[in-house]
Amino acid sequence: MPELRRDPVIGRWVIISTERSRRPGGLRTQNESQGSVPCPFCPGNESKTPPEILAYGPRGRSPNTPGWSTRVVPNKFPALQIEGDLHRGGEDLFDRMDGLGAHEVIVETDDHTKQLEDLNENQVTDVLFSWRDRIMDLKRDPRFEYILVFKNRGTAAGASLAHAHSQLIATPMVPIRVKQELRGSDEYYEKKGRCIFCEIMRAEIEKKERVVEVNDDFAVITPFASRFPFEMWIMPRRHSSSFETSTDAQFRALSRTLKSVLARLNNVLDNPPYNFIVHTGPLKANQLAHFHWHIELMPKIVHTAGFEWGAGFYINPTPPEQAALYLREVNNGPTA
Ligand SMILES: [Zn+2]
Ligand SMILES: [Zn+2]
Ligand SMILES: [Zn+2]
C-alpha cells in the first residue's frame, strides 16, 4: 500500500509509492515502447491491462475484447490504491494516511498511430465524456475529495507508453495547487464579489494580445504570468466551477477547441511533448461562485532547474504575448 505523507511545514502531500518502485522495465520509462513489447493499449491485448472499468463501443460487445473506441482501465502501476479505509495516522509532526485513491487510464483510441488531436470531433468528445463519466462515478465514493484528470504526451512529459491516453487520479484530499487557486479566487470574490477567472477572461478578450482563440463557448489565452513558454489556459466562457456538469454541447465545443489548440501547438513547436491538467472544483463543493474550471496546457520544452525548484519561481524565456501571436497566426489544422 502506498502512503500519503504531509509536509509538516507547507502542508503539501506526497505519495510515497511502494508499488511503483518495483515497476518493471525501468528502461521503458526512458523509451516509449516501440514495437518490441506488444502495446497493452492496442485492441487484441485487452488481457494485458487490468479488467476495464468503462468502454464505449457497439452494443453487445463483451468486456475486455476488441471493438471498443474509448476504454478506461485501472492503472497497472497505480500511484494510489482503491482498496482500504481512510485511515489517518501519524505521530506529532508527521501526518500520514494510507495511500488510498483511484488511478485510471483512459485509452483515447484503438488506433496506435493516432494522437488525441488526430481523432475526429466525435472521438475527442467521447474522451471528454469518459472523463465526465468516471468523475461522476468516483464522486459517489465519500473517501475522495478531488479528482485530477491529466495527460502526459511524449517521454519528456512523463508518458511511458506511446499509445494515446490520459489519466485520472482521485485523492482523499484537495491537492495544494488547487487549494492555492481556491484560496486566491475566494479572497478576490470576498473583496470584489466577482469570479476572478471571469474577470481575467473578460480583460483578455478585450485586450486581445494574449488571446489564442475565442469562440462562443471557450476562450484560450496565454496567461499574463505564464510559467512556461506557450503555456495556455482553456476556459469555458460561461461561469462554472465543475467540469463534469458541462452540457453535451459544451463538451462538443471543448472537443473542437482542444483539437484546434493542440494543432496550433504542434504546428508552432513541431509536435512537442506536453502536459495538460483539468482544474475543476473539489468533489464535495457544489457550484462555487468564486472558482472557474479550466484546463492548463504546458508544452515541455524547457527544463525545470534549481532556481525553480528552490524558489517556486519560474523563468520563462518566451513572453506570453509573443507566444499568443505565434499560436494565433499558425494553421489550426493537421500538421502539413
Ligand atoms: Zn497501442
Ligand atoms: Zn467565473
Ligand atoms: Zn489551474
Would residue 336 count as lying in a domain?
A: no
How much is the pLDDT for 303? 83
Using an 8 Å Cβ cutoff, are 186 and 290 in contact? yes
Give the ligand with the smallest distance to the CA of 290. 2
Q: 3-class DSSP state for residue 149?
A: strand
Tell me: do 244 and 321 sit in the same domain. yes
Say yes or no: 219 and 278 in one domain: yes
- Asked if residue 322 and residue 181 are part of one domain, the reply reads yes
How many angstroms separate the alpha carbon of residue 288 from the centre of ligand 2?
A: 9
Helices 320-329 and 248-269 cross at an angle (nearest 10°) of: 100
How many whole angstroms from 43 Cα to the centroid of ligand 3? 34
> What's residue 117's pLDDT?
93
Task: Give the ligand at the shortest distance from the Cα of 237.
Answer: 2
In degrees rounded to 5, what are phi and psi of residue 172? -80, 10
CA of 112 to the centre of ligand 3 (A): 30
Tell me, yes or no, whether 182 lies in a domain. yes
The domain boundary, picked from 137, 152, 175, lies at: 175
- How much of the chain is in helix, strand and coil states, percent to nearest 5? 30, 20, 45
Query: 187 and 157, same structural domain?
Result: no
Tell me, yes or no, whether 182 and 293 share the same domain: yes
Residues 141 and 226 reside in one and the same domain: no
Same-domain pairing of 118 and 205 = no
Task: Tell me how far the alpha carbon of residue 79 lies from the centroid of ligand 3, in angstroms.
Answer: 22
Q: pLDDT at position 336, please?
A: 56
CATH number where 303 lies? 3.30.428.10
Ligand sitting nearest the alpha carbon of 39 = 1
C-alpha 110 – ligand 3 centre gap (Å): 30
Cα 217 to ligand 3 centre (Å): 18
Residue 31, pLDDT score: 46
Q: Is residue 25, in this structure, part of any structural domain at all?
A: yes
Centre of ligand 2 to C-alpha 282, Å, is 15
- Cell triple for residue 299? 508544452
**Ligand lying closest to the C-alpha of residue 239:** 2
The whole-angstrom separation of Cα 127 and Cα 111 is 14
pLDDT at 84 (0 to 100): 75
The number of domains in the chain is 2
Extract the C-alpha cell encoding 281: 472544483
Q: How far is the CA of 292 from the centre of ligand 2 (A)?
A: 5
Residue 291 belongs to some domain of the structure = yes
What's residue 221's pLDDT?
A: 98
Q: Which domain holds residue 235?
A: 177-329
Are residues 158 and 243 part of one domain? no
| Residues assigned a catalytic role | 165
> Of 153, 175, 197, which residue is a domain's last?
175
In a domain, 334, yes or no: no
Q: Which spans in the chain are helix H?
A: 121-139, 176-192, 196-207, 248-269, 306-311, 320-329
Q: Please tell me whether residues 181 and 169 are part of one structural domain.
A: no
Task: Check whether residue 154 and residue 250 sit in a common domain.
Answer: no
Same-domain pairing of 155 and 184? no
CA of 145 to the centre of ligand 3 (A): 17
In a domain, 185, yes or no: yes
CA distance 184 to 60: 49
In a domain, 125, yes or no: yes
| Ligand closest to the CA atom of residue 242 | 2
> For residue 335, is it within any domain?
no
HEC profile of 24-68: CCHHHHCCCCCCCCCCCCCCCCHHHCCCCCEEECCCCCCCCCCCC
Same domain, 193 and 324: yes
Last residue of a domain, one of 138, 157, 175: 175
Among 142, 103, 116, 120, CA closest to 15: 103
What spacing in Å lies between the alpha carbon of 198 and ligand 2's midpoint? 4
Note the ligand closest to the C-alpha atom of 33. Answer: 1
User: Tens place of pLDDT for every residue, the chain, 336 residues?
Assistant: 888 999 989 989 999 887 655 555 554 444 444 556 799 999 999 999 999 999 999 999 999 999 999 999 999 888 888 887 777 777 788 888 888 999 999 999 999 999 999 999 999 999 999 999 999 999 999 999 999 999 999 998 888 899 999 999 999 999 999 999 999 999 999 999 999 999 999 999 999 999 999 999 999 999 999 999 999 999 999 999 999 999 999 999 999 999 999 999 999 999 999 999 999 999 999 899 999 999 999 999 988 888 888 888 899 999 999 999 999 999 998 865
Enter the C-alpha cell of residue 258. Answer: 482542444
